[in-house]
């Protein structure tokens, strides 16, 4: 019996050895296969692009210097929705927001993040707005101590200035933030600079080319620190894109395409905001709003939807293309085009203002060998990134980056990758090293928001205002200074000229004159 059992044991044991060759083969060969697998799955994308390590992602966040003393006294001109957003970036919010974001005596995550923001040591010393309710709200904001580096009850209420003229002449103001309708941008910024006040100016920079020239000359002659409000200057994606393109990953760039896709009244700048219904002839300084523009009787719709009226606004080309242009300009330094043609029309939102809602613009850069195009519609909201088309690859660029190989490329001839799969991916708002495996569909976000710098996610708008404050304190340069702003303002105003006159516009960079032909 025992003999029989042993035989069964031996026989079964031999059966068990059947798996051994598999195991042996696996053990001997798996490492070789792993290496091959790793090579395929975890390609060194930067090596594949033919570039070394990138410098842009290594930029360090530098906390504000010299903030202990030297408090900067800010005056805000234009406390509408954008002005209030900017105040938040500078570290000021309304007490209402504190209440809304406090649950059972505890700050929620949003409020805590805001409070953890660096204290820029600035004071909201003055407010100026043609709508008295907006001005009063600015004063309330100045008195709320719950803010980064809050003064614990020592905040002084901001002074209301009846017009910007009194504010820029005031000895109690060091620097101004301008967030008014576009037609007031240049006159206010020029007056402020002449009075020695530093200027943070919302985009679009000016309402006309002539204003852009005068503003540039004034800023340069007065030497005040100027920052244009294109917060995407702080976005990591554009810094990486600039470095990659400078290193030649796209080859020869022949075309750059930019887009606006919006759908609906809000996107078309027909909006009703919190206090609009309370606006009337008694609490709005209508004459001051109109300035040098043609006279109209008081019209609340015109006042609150000024974007849509060409007397005050710059259309969607000034409001949205200017962002795309600045992104492209910081990456490729395209500068001002030599010729511009534009076509479009106001087809859909006809009841408010004269803003076109479909527009195509071609910007010619013959010396640089490329064309920049802009396709804008306010009747389709399907998002498109900016496309930069090179002879070796195409870059899809916004807050993220995707690069696709051109099958005809010499540079990437030996790179075995399907042209439908990206050569390189950077997903906005994340660490660059975390995204080099371009295996999954990456989502590229558009818009304005967080960026990733020095190992952490930060608000790009905060970084942008901080850069201005730091530059004032330390005599440094801003990233969207008057020269960058000049390129932006002339370029989009050329497009508006071409559209309005239905003619080609030629820009003479020597005489700085635009000619309709």
Partner 1 sequence: MKKDTAPLYYSNWQLFSLTFIRVLIGWHFLYEGLVKLFTPGWSANSYLLGSVGPFAPVFRSLANHPGLLKIVDILNIWGLIVIGISLFTGLLSRPLKLCGIALLLLYYLAYPPFASLGINVPVEGNYWIVNKNLIEMAALFVLYMFPSSHITGIDRIFSKQIDN
Q: Which residues bind partner 1 (CB under 8 A)?
A: 9, 12-13, 15-16, 18-19, 22-23, 26, 30, 33-34, 37-38, 41-42, 433-434, 437, 439-441
For partner 1, the closer CB: 331 or 444: 444
438-to-390, 403, 421, 474 alpha-carbon distances in Å: 20, 10, 8, 41
Closer Cβ to partner 1, 14 or 68, answer by number: 14
80 close to 279: Cβ distance less than 8 angstroms: no
CB closer to partner 1, 26 vs 296: 26
Residue 382 or residue 440: which is nearer to partner 1 going by CB?
440
Of 239, 398, 426, whose CA–CA distance to 324 is shortest?
Answer: 398
* Shortest CB 12 distance to partner 1, Å: 5
- Min dist CB 38 to partner 1, Å, is 6
Both structure tokens of 125: 């010393």
Using a 10 angstrom Cβ sphere, with 0-12 exposed, 13-18 middle and 19 or more buried, the burial of residue 41 is exposed
Q: Which residue pairs, CB below 8 angstroms and at least 24 apart, start in 94-97?
A: 94/137, 94/140, 94/141, 94/144, 95/140, 95/143, 95/144, 95/146
Q: List Cβ<8 Å contacts ≥24 apart for 455-463.
A: 455/431, 456/61, 457/429, 458/61, 459/89, 459/117, 460/231, 460/232, 460/234, 460/235, 461/85, 461/86, 461/89, 461/231, 461/234, 462/89, 462/117, 463/231, 463/234
Residue closest to 179 by CA, chosen among 199, 201, 211: 201
User: CB 104 → partner 1: shortest distance, Å?
Assistant: 23
Bridge partners for 155 per DSSP: none
Closest distance of CB 108 from partner 1, Å: 17
Closer by beta carbon to partner 1, 34 or else 476:
34
Rounded Cα distance between 466 and 453, Å, is 14
Nearest Cα residue to 165 out of 190, 141, 140: 190
Rounded Cα distance, 408 and 392, in Å: 7
Smallest CA-to-CA distance from 76 within 133, 121, 139, 132 is with: 139
Closer residue to partner 1, CB minimum distance, 68 or 440: 440
Residue among 322, 324, 321 nearest 238 (CA): 324
**Closest CB to partner 1 among residues 254, 436:** 436
- 1, 11, 121: which is closest to 65 by C-alpha? 121
Rounded to the nearest whole angstrom, what is the least distance from the CB of residue 432 to partner 1 in the complex?
Answer: 12
- Cβ proximity to partner 1, 440 vs 517, nearer residue: 440
Q: Among residues 6 and 474, whose Cβ is nearest to partner 1?
A: 6
- With vertex at residue 162, the alpha carbon angle to CA 156 and CA 166, rounded to the nearest 5 degrees, is 85
Q: What are the φ and ψ backbone dihedral angles of 425, each rounded to 5 degrees?
A: -135, 135
CB-wise, 12 or 407, nearer to partner 1?
A: 12
Closer to partner 1 at the Cβ: 351 or 441?
A: 441
Strand partners, 377: 261, 358
Q: Is the CB of 340 or the CB of 442 nearer to partner 1? A: 442
- For residue 317, what is the DSSP state? I
For residue 158 the two structure tokens come to 């901001």
Residues 31 and 82 sit within 8 Å (Cβ to Cβ): no
Least separation in angstroms between residue 383's CB and partner 1 is 15
Helix (H, G, I), strand (E, B) or coil at 319: helix
């Amino acid at each position: 019996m025992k003999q029989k059992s042993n035989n069964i044991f031996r026989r079964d044991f031999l059966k068990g050895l059947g798996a051994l060759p598999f195991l042996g083969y696996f053990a001997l060969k798996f490492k070789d296969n792993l290496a091959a697998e790793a090579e395929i799955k975890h390609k060194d994308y930067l090596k594949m692009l033919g570039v070394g390590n990138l410098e842009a992602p290594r930029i360090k966040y530098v906390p504000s210097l010299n903030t202990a003393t030297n408090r900067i006294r800010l005056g805000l001109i234009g406390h509408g929705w954008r002005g209030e957003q900017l105040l938040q970036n500078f570290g000021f919010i309304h007490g209402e927001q504190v209440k809304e974001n406090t649950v059972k005596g505890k700050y929620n995550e949003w409020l805590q993040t805001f409070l953890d923001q660096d204290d820029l040591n600035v004071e909201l010393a003055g407010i100026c707005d043609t709508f008295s309710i907006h001005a009063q709200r600015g004063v309330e904001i100045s008195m709320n101590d719950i803010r980064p580096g809050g003064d614990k009850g020592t905040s002084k209420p901001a002074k209301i200035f009846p017009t910007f003229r009194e504010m820029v002449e005031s000895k109690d103001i060091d620097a101004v933030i301008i967030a008014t309708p576009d037609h007031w941008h240049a006159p206010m910024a020029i007056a402020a600079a002449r009075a020695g006040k530093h200027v943070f100016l919302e985009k679009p920079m000016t309402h006309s080319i002539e204003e852009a020239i005068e503003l540039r000359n004034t800023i340069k002659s007065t030497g005040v620190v100027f920052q244009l409000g294109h917060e995407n200057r702080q976005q990591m994606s554009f810094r990486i894109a600039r470095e990659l393109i400078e290193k030649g990953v796209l080859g020869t760039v022949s075309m750059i395409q930019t887009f606006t896709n919006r759908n609906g009244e809000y996107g078309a700048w027909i909006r009703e905001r919190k206090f609009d219904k309370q606006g009337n002839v008694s609490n709005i300084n209508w004459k001051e709003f109109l300035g040098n523009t043609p006279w109209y009787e008081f019209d609340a719709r015109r006042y609150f939807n000024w974007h849509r009226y060409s007397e005050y606004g710059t259309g969607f080309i000034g409001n949205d293309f200017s962002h795309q242009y600045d992104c492209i300009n910081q990456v490729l330094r395209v500068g001002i085009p030599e010729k511009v043609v534009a076509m479009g029309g106001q087809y859909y939102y006809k009841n408010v203002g004269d803003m076109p809602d479909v527009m195509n613009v071609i910007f010619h850069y013959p010396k640089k060998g490329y064309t920049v195009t802009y396709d804008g519609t306010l009747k389709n909201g399907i998002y498109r990134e900016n496309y930069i088309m090179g002879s070796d690859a195409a870059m899809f660029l916004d807050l993220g980056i995707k690069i696709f190989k051109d099958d005809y490329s010499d540079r990437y001839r030996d790179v075995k990758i399907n042209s439908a799969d990206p050569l390189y991916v950077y997903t906005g708002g994340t660490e660059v090293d975390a995204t080099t495996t371009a295996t999954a569909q990456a989502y590229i976000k558009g818009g304005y928001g967080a960026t990733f710098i020095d190992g952490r996610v930060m608000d790009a708008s905060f970084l942008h205002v901080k850069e201005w404050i730091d530059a004032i304190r330390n005599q440094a340069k801003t990233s969207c200074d008057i020269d960058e702003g000049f390129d932006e303002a002339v370029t989009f105003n050329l497009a508006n000229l071409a559209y309005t006159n239905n003619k080609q516009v030629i820009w003479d960079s020597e005489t700085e004159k635009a000619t309709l032909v």
